[in-house]
Amino acid sequence: MTPRKTALKTFAVLSAAALTSGVCASAATASPLAFSEMQANAVSNATQVAGSLGATSGGIYLENGKAVVNVTDDASAQKVQAAGLTAKKVKHTFAALTGVKNSLDAVKNVPQTTWGIDTKTNQVVVKVYDSASKETADKVTAAAAQYGDSVRVEHRTGKLELHIADGDAIQNDQGRCSLGFNVTRGGEPFLLTAGHCTNLGGTWAGGDVSGATVVESDCPDADSGLLTRPNGTGPSEINTGQAITSAAEPTVGEQMEKQGSTTGGGSGEVTSVDESVNFDVGVLNHEFGTTAHTDHGDSGGPAYDGSKGLGTLSGGDTVTSYFYPLTLELSSYGLELA
């Protein structure tokens, strides 16, 4: 492996066999890139159709790689079906769910809770961990109860943790994380990782990178951090040469891959978008939840779908892993993929 690719060891390609779990038989024989392209086309078409519905759209999600468009009336269902897509009649519009989610964001100082939109169930899902104080649990549950069946409350065991601990990708004298994406700004090379990692300051090293210093660090609210790359350049690609050529918004139901220095490669499914996750350090906004398994040391590692970059890992519990969207990181720092 070249030094350049060693520096990118937070990426990996998942085999086609690993992607077949939970997907339809026709997709089971497809390569990961072909399945990724299928998902991308499905999202693009469904987003266009959903956008034409206006106030009657309930949002979209993926089911076995195929798009489903939520609608609130029969006329819209017919329009979706005429476009060759699957329609699902739901009660709540996507705009209404977004409004509920934004209203819940006004509930502050409630660590060990989260809320985000699950278009598959047509609800805002609120998670309350048993590590939350009784006062916090009661406060969040009461707030959720105001919105009836547009909100579902789940009680989770365990504790939300930001994943920063033993790992072997990038480190300084205070902690270890995982490298995310190689990026550029004004033609200069940089390294993108999690903000709760770069909040530690200092200089970072890993692979062929040494003496990397913190340029940007945002956490809480966001969770993104930018490091210099003083040892040369390298493209945004996984360590087998698979290019990451674009950044994309995650979609509920989307099959994704991840890589981290502790747990390595793996796959999962996007389960929520625009989630507000109340870690002990503060709220991280706009996260997306996945079923991918991650652990301490994986922080900053990438979530991706084929050649599309989706986000960098913040943390999670034993069931759900949360990532901060790559699209927001690129736009907020004025970056491009290398």
Mean pLDDT of the chain: 88
For residue 22, what pLDDT is reported?
37
Q: Can you say whether the dihedral through the CA atoms of 27, 320, 298, 43 is positive or negative?
A: positive
Active-site annotation holds for 74 = no
DSSP 173: S
pLDDT tens for 308-329 read: 999 999 999 989 999 999 999 9
| Residue 104 near residue 124 (C-beta atoms within 8 A) | yes
Domains belonging to the chain, first-starting first, are: 1-14+93-338 (2.40.10.10), 16-89 (no CATH)
d(CA 12, CA 299): 15
Give the tens place of pLDDT for each residue, 259-307. Answer: 999 999 999 999 999 999 999 999 999 999 999 999 999 999 999 999 9
| Angle of CA points 196, 200, 204, to nearest 5° | 105
Residue 209 tokens, joined: 């990178």
Please state, in angstroms and rounded to a whole number, the distance separating the CA atoms of residues 213 and 263.
26
User: Whole-angstrom Cα distance, residue 30 to residue 42?
Assistant: 15
State CA 291 to chain mean position distance: 10
150, 299, 307, 314: the active-site residue: 299
What are 223-271's pLDDT values in tens digits?
Answer: 999 999 988 777 887 665 668 999 999 999 999 999 999 999 999 999 9
Concatenate the DSSP letters of all residues of 244-313 into one string: --EE----TT-EEEEEETTTEEEEEEEEEEEEEEEETTEEEEEEEEE-----TT-TT-EEEETTEEEEEE
Choice between 28 and 142, residue whose per-residue pLDDT is larger: 142
Q: Which two tokens stand for residue 97?
A: 């769910």
299 noted as active-site residue: yes
From the list 92, 163, 196, 293, the catalytic residue is 196
**Active-site annotation holds for 223:** yes
The residues near 156 (Cβ < 8 Å, ≥ 6 apart) are 127, 128, 129, 130, 317, 319
DSSP state letter for 58:
E
Cβ-proximal residues to 313 (8 Å cutoff; 6+ apart), any chain: 163, 178, 180, 194, 258, 260, 294, 298, 299, 300, 301, 302, 303, 321, 322, 323
Return the structure tokens found at 62: 């993926």
- Cβ distance 287 to 116 under 8 Å? yes
Mean per-residue pLDDT, 168-178:
84
> Of the ranges 3-17, 29-43, 130-144, which is most confident?
130-144
Q: What confidence score (pLDDT) does residue 239 get?
A: 61
Distance CA 78, CA 41 (A): 21
